Amino acid sequence: LRVNDEKMSKSLGNFFTLADIFEKFHPEVVRFFLLRGHYRSPLNYTDGHLEDARQGLNTLYTVLRDYPTVMGSVPDWNGVAEGAFKRALDDDLNTPEAVAVLFGLAHDAHRGEVGAAQRLRALAEVLGLLGSAPVEWFQRGAGLTVQAGDEDQERIEILMAQRQAARARKDFSTADQIRQALLAEGIVLEDKEGTTQWRRS
């Protein structure tokens, strides 16, 4: 393991533990970071690489957000994507190639293929990924470690209701002020098909 292109060691002062990383990033982000590299290859840890992994994982969760009822299942190993996934893992545990299969399925699901979303969820679960409900993933910090309690969620939902009431009475100035205030706190409101959802940016 290398840290910022230097070998990790106590003498260099670049030693850290998983607990240190988990103060910034969700454990699933760390797992995804590790899976994107082959276990035989050197691994270079930087906050930038973890952030890149977080964004990649968020891409997969974003696709699944459009399929809230899709749950994981046992993969059908006779399928094309499943076969490619299995061959990758059989090839000296080639997890980067297996992750590439997940992104291929995400691309198909983004184009509206419900079956691709189902297969994405099933194969991701083999790697211990995408186990959260997408809405919850984004509300809990989208891969960042956020200490937010029920009071925080309740306050956000009250502000969303106030914004919705302002929009109903065509007070768009107030509605925009509420949206901007939440955005300043890192809360993004997304209006879609007559409903509003929130997530952390």
DSSP structure class, residue 9:
-
Q: Which fold has domain 2-139?
A: Four Helix Bundle (Hemerythrin (Met), subunit A) (1.20.120)
Please, where in the chain does CATH 1.20.120.640 lie? 2-139
What confidence score (pLDDT) does residue 33 get?
93
Q: How much is the average pLDDT of 66-74?
A: 80
What confidence score (pLDDT) does residue 120 get?
95
- Please say if the pLDDT value at position 102 is more than 60: yes
- 78 to 115, 122, 123: CA distances (angstroms): 14, 14, 13
* Helices assigned H by DSSP within 66-94: 80-90
